[in-house]
Structure 1
Amino acid sequence: MTNDLLGRHRAVLPDWLALYYEDPLEITHGEGRHVWDAHGNRYLDFFGGILTTMTAHALPEVTKAVSEQAGRIVHSSTLYLNRPMVELAERVAQLSGIPDARVFFTTSGTEANDTALLLATAYRRSNTILAMRNSYHGRSFSSVGITGNSGWSPTSLSPLQTLYVHGGVRTRGPFASLGDDDFIAACVEDLKDLLGHTRPPAALIAEPVQGVGGFTAPPDGLYAAFREVLHERGILWIADEVQTGWGRTGEHFWGWQAHGQNGPPDLMTFAKGIGNGMSIGGVVARSEIMNCLDSNSISTFGGTQLTMAAGLANLNYLLEHDLQGNARRVGGMLIERLRSAAAHVPAVREVRGRGLMIGIEITKPGTDEADPQAAAAVLEAAREGGLLIGKGGGHNTSALRVAPPLSLNVAEAEEGAAILENALRSIQ
Structure 2
Amino acid sequence: MTQTPQETAALHARHQAVLPSWLSLYYERPLELTHGEGRHVWDAEGNRYLDFFGGILTTMTAHALPEVTKAVSEQAGRIIHTSTLYLSRPMVDLAERIVALSGIPDARVFFTTSGTEANDAALLLATTHRRSNQILAMRNSYHGRSFSTVGITGNQSWSPTSLSPLQTLYVHGGVRSRGPYAELSDAAYTAACVADLEDMLQQTAGGVAALIAEPVQGVGGFTMPPDGLYAAFREVLARHGILWISDEVQTGWGRTGDHFWGWQAHAGHGPPDMLTFAKGIGNGMSIGGVVARAEVMNSLSANSISTFGGSPVTMAAGLANLNYLLEHDLQGNARRVGGLLIERLRAVAAGLEFVREVRGRGLMIGIELVRPGTDERSPEAASLVVEAARERGLLVGKGGQGGASLRIAPPMTLTVAEAEEGADLLADALRAAHSTAAAS
Tell me by how many angstroms 1:367 deviates.
Answer: 1.2
Amino acid at match of 1:19: L
1:388 matched to which residue of 2? 395
Q: Does 1:177 align with 2:177?
A: no
Q: Judge conservation of contact 1:44–1:388 (CA < 8 Å) in 2.
A: yes
1:76 has 2:90 as partner: no
Deviations 1:107-130 (A, max 9, x none): 000000000000000000000000
Cα distance in 2, alignment partners of residues 148 and 374 from structure 1: 23
Partner of 2:239: 232
Q: Is the 8 A contact 1:269 1:283 kept in 2?
A: yes
Structure 2 unaligned regions, length at least 5: 1-6, 435-440
* Distance of 2:229 and 2:292 partners within structure 1: 21
Residue of structure 2 in register with 1:30 after alignment: 36
Report the CA distance between 1:397 and its aligned residue.
6.5
Q: Distance in 1 between matches of 2:292 and 2:375?
A: 40
Offset of 1:427 from its aligned partner? 2.0
CA displacement, residues 74-117 of structure 1 (integer Å, 9 cap, x when unaligned): 01000000000000000000000000000000000000000000
Letter in 2 for 1:60: P
| The one of 287, 292, 297 aligned to 1:290 | 297
Tell me how far apart the structure 2 counterparts of residues 397 and 139 of structure 1 sit (CA, whole Å): 17
Residue 163 of structure 2 corresponds to which residue in structure 1? 157
Does structure 1 retain, via aligned residues, the 8 Å contact 2:382–2:403?
A: no
Matched, 1:59 2:65: yes
Alignment of 1:9-28 (within 5 A): 9-28=15-34
Match of 1:167 in 2: 173
In 2, Cα distance between equivalents of 1:366 and 1:416: 28
Report the residue type matching 2:279 in the other structure.
K
Contact kept, 8 Å, 2:119 with 2:143, in 1: the verdict is yes
C-alpha distance in 2, partners of 1:87/1:4? 45
Task: Kindly state the Cα deviation for residue 365 of structure 1 after the two structures are TM-superposed.
Answer: 1.2
Runs of 4 or more, structure 1, over 2 Å off, are none
SS of the aligned residue for 1:427 comes to helix
User: Which residue of 1 is the match for residue 438 of structure 2?
Assistant: none
Q: Which residue number in structure 2 is paired with residue 273 of structure 1? A: 280
From 91, 114, 117, the equivalent of 1:111 is 117
Q: 2:420 aligns with which of 391, 414, 421?
A: 414
Residues 195-227 of structure 1, C-alpha deviations (whole Å, 9 max, x = no match): 011122100000000000000000000000000
1:136 partnered with 2:139: no
What residue identity is the alignment partner of 2:288?
G
- Please point out which of 324, 327, 332 is paired with 2:339: 332
Question: What CA RMSD, in Å, does the superposition of the two structures yield over aligned residues?
Answer: 0.6
Percent of pairs with identical residues? 78
SS of equivalent to 2:267:
helix
Work out which of the residue numbers 101, 107, 130 in structure 2 matches 1:101.
107
Shift of 1:313: 0.2
SS of the aligned residue for 1:359 comes to strand
Please give the TM-score of this superposition, normalised by the length of structure 2.
0.97
Query: Quick one: distance in 2 between partners of 1:86 and 1:253?
Result: 21
Q: CA deviation at 1:234?
A: 0.1
For residues 382 and 288 of structure 2, the distance between their equivalents in structure 1, rounded to whole angstroms, comes to 30
CA distance in 2, matches of 1:381, 1:150: 27
Q: Which residue of 2 aligns with 1:378?
A: 385
Q: In the alignment, what sits opposite 2:351?
A: 344
